[in-house]
Structure 1
Amino acid sequence: MSALPQGIIHATLIAPDLAAFCTAYQQQLAMQLHAQGTLPAAEAAILGLPALAGAPQAWLANSAGVPVLQVIEDPTAVVAEPMFRHGWLSLEILVGDIDTLAAGLNAPFRVLGAAANLELSDAIRAAQVLGPAGELLYLTQIKDQVPPFDLPMTEDTVAATFIGVMTTPDRAASQAAWASLLGAPGWAFETKITVLNRAYGKPLEGRYPVAVVPMPGQCMVEIDQVELPAAASVRHAGVHSLALRLPLVDAAQLQASGWRSAGDPAQRGWIGPAGEHVQLLA
């Protein structure tokens, strides 16, 4: 029996209009409707969303037929750009041909930054896109390896999320928490983040303190430090959680490093120092 894949297995998003969301992803991002149903109460607890138990949900599969997005409907969720609150900022999704994919996107998607090579390496080319629920997507093509990072490559139209990008008021605290979860210290550096500079009205060359922590399965978390005013305490549409399959994690160790339980008895839902939610799969 082959081992189960590790790393980022799927992402969970909240959408005010489930049908419209799924249609957009099917028509423009080569996604397939894998399954539909309602959110079980036990899973709602793990996700820290007990009020959404029984809500309509759908699973979207990528162009290879693998379910990679769980979408939960909440008509009351607030659609707003994620650049203005801490926690999950973006899903970085591996694609085969970013120029062709981005050129074909139209409403309800909005391309914030045309496809371009990253400052880090010309082997990484990406476009930044806002989706129908206010979710930010970094659609990224990897053309070659970029040491010291272990990066995946694909020829599929759309593969899967391989990096979760988050913002935090304190890079050091968030990096320490994720290093405890993932068992690796990662790297800290500064780089320009064009999508944030545009959102904040700053010069496009402006740089931010960033950390990257690797996880199994050629996946990573990117931690961007930004100063933001306190966000309103509402349920936002867009990216809510990343589901991770990792080597055994000790709950006491997580709590000591800054994580707190999302409130489910199984202790499989956790919230990080900046408000980012993860679901730990068995």
Structure 2
Amino acid sequence: MSICSYLWCLIISLSCVAPLSGNPAAVKEQISLKREKTITNIVNGVPTIDKKFFARINMPYRDKVCGGVVIDRWWVLTAARCVDHVSDHQYELRNVFIEIGNFTTGSQQKKTYKAKAIVIHPMYNLTTNSHDIALIKLVKRAPMFRVAELCSEPVEYGTEVGACGLGSTPARHPSPSASLHEIFLRGIFFSFASFFEIDFCPDDQVCTEPITDGASICNLDEGSPLYKLQCHSRAAECILGIASHFVASEHSEINCSGGSNFASVPHPYEWISETIVFDFLFNSGHLDRSF
């Protein structure tokens, strides 16, 4: 590569990182204000049609819906909080349904899959939101073109990232949307969170703040993907996190416009890979949840 080409690539890379204003103390103070109340949908998002990897997880016997992402033909990644109530009892497994397909308004191009096994991260803790990651094995394989790549490394502090889900579109109307919506956020990642001593964003989480006022995840979007964006195109490049919960804004009427927290994917990347490889090699068909 010539020196000119290298410099051009460097300029493009740097342009993908959105600058943050303010000093570390101010950043910490702003985030603490959003931390007053947490509850557990995309709000103030825009319609999106190119997220082929998105999955919707339905558990009608619990009246529960979550998001997810296809990461292998046999596996869907979601939040542990979405499936931590599912025991190894076959009745509950048989009643976990995963929809994969086109989530644009009015589309019927979706296929429903059943769950064969559920594997929750061994260090998952609902109280602290620690390691809020789970894997669902499908009974039948999903199409290869729907498989998303996982990010093995975090992106730089302040980088613009994307998230999608089926939550409500405007903040004041909490009913879920009929189509997939997308929002853009700015990441406050663990490497810098530690530097700023932000105590609510440990290294197994990705904390974000809205770029557009009121853009956030909310209830019904748990398990939905956060992704790194391709430079200058805003297309998803790799999966960076899984929606865990959001930090409510004190000025939001229904508390859905504050910062959003995601379980980090690069942090448990090895565990995710090893779980899938272990199942492939031994083909046990029934995985120990504590693996």
TM-score (norm 2): 0.27
Flag the structure with higher strand content. Answer: 1
Report which of the two structures shows the higher radius of gyration computed on alpha carbons. Answer: 2
